[in-house]
């Protein structure tokens, strides 16, 4: 989902080519975002086809609603989390799916709005909630979790080698004054850790916090397992991931689908953006697309 300003959808043509195999079918876009992939699906399918779109972020759904107005009557947007997809699809009474797409991560809608608290380059509250109604914020984590739990979080979800140091820095700082903004946290880390190439020293910490706040990895597994049961024979499930933790989960879940005899692989190895797309949209450089197909 991660896009440059202008909300260019990552791996758009590649995803549509793999996903849309029946122009009259029903499709799920499990992460609508700004509506780029949903629009692409609706353009490819016929007037008899339709789309169900879900997102945790009410602002994203509002933006998508505007973008998809030319297709009125052919789509339904629902405020929902991956873990509730089974209920959403059952309530939609859409029948079996011809395809489902998960475009993971965060989009420019979230990253470029300082008040959402996702960006380590813009002053904003330590929030990071995709769903503003969720109780847990990044601020609560950094100011309330014990050092050992912070270290584990940064190591496991951020794959941060300096997890222990960063946890100690946070605990020492909050003993004097709570951390309240994104730049306070980013500057605290960058003052002690050296930048590695183009990567800001706080990047992995921010990613770990975002994943924890939104329970992204747990919900991803549950969402994939729910949706595969709604695919019809020949229906396809495609996922675009943006970091190794996500991709590892997708790879393992897809392998389990194949091992159980539910699916066959469509992509033997992940599809990645070409040089032109990475030049045009630097946030696409880590994207990986995997797909499986439901067995007859």
279: domain CATH number is 3.40.50.150
Which stretches of 177-272 are DSSP H helices?
182-190, 203-214, 216-228, 244-259
Query: Of 167, 186, 214, which residue sits at a domain end?
Result: 214
Task: List the one residue out of 142, 120, 116 whose CA is nearest residue 129.
Answer: 116
Q: Is the pLDDT assigned to residue 233 strictly greater than 70?
A: yes
pLDDT band at 196 (very low <50, low <70, confident <90, very high): confident
Average pLDDT over residues 216-242: 97
Please state at what angle helix 58-67 crosses helix 36-44, rounded to 10 degrees.
40
Please list the alpha-helical segments (H only) found in the chain.
Answer: 12-19, 36-44, 58-67, 85-92, 108-111, 138-144, 147-156, 163-176, 182-190, 203-214, 216-228, 244-259, 275-280
Domain holding 226, by residue range, is 12-108+216-294
Please, which residues have CB within 8 angstroms of residue 268's CB and are 6 or more apart in sequence?
A: none
* Number of separate domains in the chain: 2
Q: Please tell me whether residues 204 and 119 are part of one structural domain.
A: yes
* 95 pLDDT higher than 90: no
Please name which of 203, 212, 5 lies closest in space to residue 109, comparing C-alpha atoms. 5
Compute the Cα dihedral for 254, 212, 119, 154 and give only its sign.
negative
Same domain for 205 and 227, yes or no, is no
101 and 160 together in one domain = no
Mean pLDDT for all residues in the chain: 94
Which pLDDT band, with edges at 50, 70 and 90, does 258 fall under? Answer: very high
3 in any annotated domain: no
Q: What torsion, rounded to 10 degrees, do the Cα atoms 216, 222, 227, 230 define?
A: -160
97 shares a domain with 221: yes
pLDDT at 268 over 90: yes
In a domain, 6, yes or no: no
Query: Where residue 111 falls among pLDDT bands split at 50, 70, 90?
Result: confident
Angle among Cα 58, 29, 262 to the nearest 5 degrees reads 135
- Categorize the per-residue pLDDT at 7 as very low, low, confident or very high, splitting at 50, 70 and 90: low
Mean pLDDT of 142-152: 98
Segment 10-37 shows an average pLDDT of 96
Does the residue 241 lie in any domain?
A: yes
Strand pairing category for 75-79 and 50-55: parallel
Domain membership of residue 265 (yes or no) is yes
Q: Is residue 24 part of a domain?
A: yes
The strands making up 97-103's β-sheet, listed across from edge to edge, are 75-79, 50-55, 26-29, 97-103, 231-241, 288-294, 263-265
What share of the chain in percent tops pLDDT 70? 98
CA angle 179, 186, 1 (to 5 degrees): 110
Tokens of 133: 């109604």
Identify the CATH number of the domain in which residue 159 sits. Answer: 1.10.150.170
- Backbone dihedral region for residue 267 (phi beyond 0: left; psi -120 to 50: alpha; all else: beta): beta
CA–CA distance, 288 with 278 (Å, rounded to integer): 12
| 124 and 28 within one domain | no
Based on the fold, state whether residues 104 and 117 are members of the same structural domain: no
Residue 270 in domain: yes
Contact criterion met (CB below 8 Å) for 273 and 11: yes
137 and 120 in one domain?
yes
Give the 3-state secondary structure of residue 25. Answer: coil
The pLDDT of 213-224, averaged and rounded, is 96
- Domain end marker among 214, 238, 269: 214
Judge if 49 and 120 occupy the same domain.
no
pLDDT of 25 > 60? The answer is yes
**Co-location of 132 and 202 in the same domain:** yes
Indicate if the pLDDT at residue 106 is higher than 90.
Answer: no
Query: How far out from the chain centre does Cα 85 lie?
Result: 15
Cross-strand pairs, 251 = none
Statement: residue 117 has pLDDT above 50 = yes
Residue 103 lies in a domain: yes
Q: Are residues 252 and 123 in the same domain?
A: no
In terms of DSSP bridges, do strands 231-241 and 263-265 run parallel, antiparallel, or are they unpaired? Answer: unpaired
Number of neighbours of residue 200 by Cβ within 10 angstroms: 16
Q: Has residue 256 got a pLDDT over 90?
A: yes
Please check whether residues 247 and 289 belong to one and the same domain: yes
Same domain as 34, residue 122? no
* Residue at a domain's end among 191, 214, 237: 214
Please give the pLDDT value at position 288.
97
CA distance 54 to 33: 9
Q: Is residue 1 part of a domain?
A: no
pLDDT at 153 over 60: yes
Q: What is the pLDDT of residue 86?
A: 95
Q: What is the mean pLDDT of residues 283-288?
A: 90
């Amino acid at each position: 989902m991660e896009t440059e300003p202008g909300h260019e959808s990552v791996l758009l043509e590649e995803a549509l080519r793999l996903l849309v195999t029946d122009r009259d079918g029903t499709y799920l876009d499990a992460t609508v975002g700004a509506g780029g992939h949903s629009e692409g699906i609706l353009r490819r399918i016929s007037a008899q086809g339709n789309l169900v779109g879900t997102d945790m972020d009410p602002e994203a759904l509002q933006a998508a609603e505007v973008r998809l107005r030319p297709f009125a009557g052919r789509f339904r947007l629902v405020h929902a989390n991956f873990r509730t997809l089974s209920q959403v699809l059952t309530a939609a009474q859409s029948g079996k799916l011809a395809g489902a797409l998960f475009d993971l991560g965060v989009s420019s809608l979230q990253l470029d709005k300082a008040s959402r608290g996702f960006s380590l380059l813009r002053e904003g509250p330590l929030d990071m909630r995709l769903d503003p109604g969720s109780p847990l914020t990044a601020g609560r984590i950094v100011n309330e979790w014990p050092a050992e739990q912070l270290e584990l979080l940064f190591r496991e979800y951020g794959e941060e080698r300096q997890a222990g140091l960063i946890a100690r820095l946070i605990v020492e700082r909050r003993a004097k004054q709570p951390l309240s903004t994104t730049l306070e946290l980013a500057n605290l880390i960058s003052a002690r850790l050296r930048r590695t190439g183009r990567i800001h020293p706080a990047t992995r910490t921010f990613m770990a916090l975002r994943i924890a706040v939104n329970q992204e990895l747990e919900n991803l597994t549950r969402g994939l397992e729910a949706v595969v049961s709604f695919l019809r024979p020949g229906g396809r499930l495609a996922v675009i991931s943006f970091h190794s933790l996500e991709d590892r989960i997708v790879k393992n879940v897809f392998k389990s689908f194949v091992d159980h005899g539910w699916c066959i692989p469509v992509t033997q190895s992940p599809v990645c953006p070409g040089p032109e797309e990475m030049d045009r949209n630097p946030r696409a450089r880590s994207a990986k697309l995997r797909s499986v197909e439901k067995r007859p």
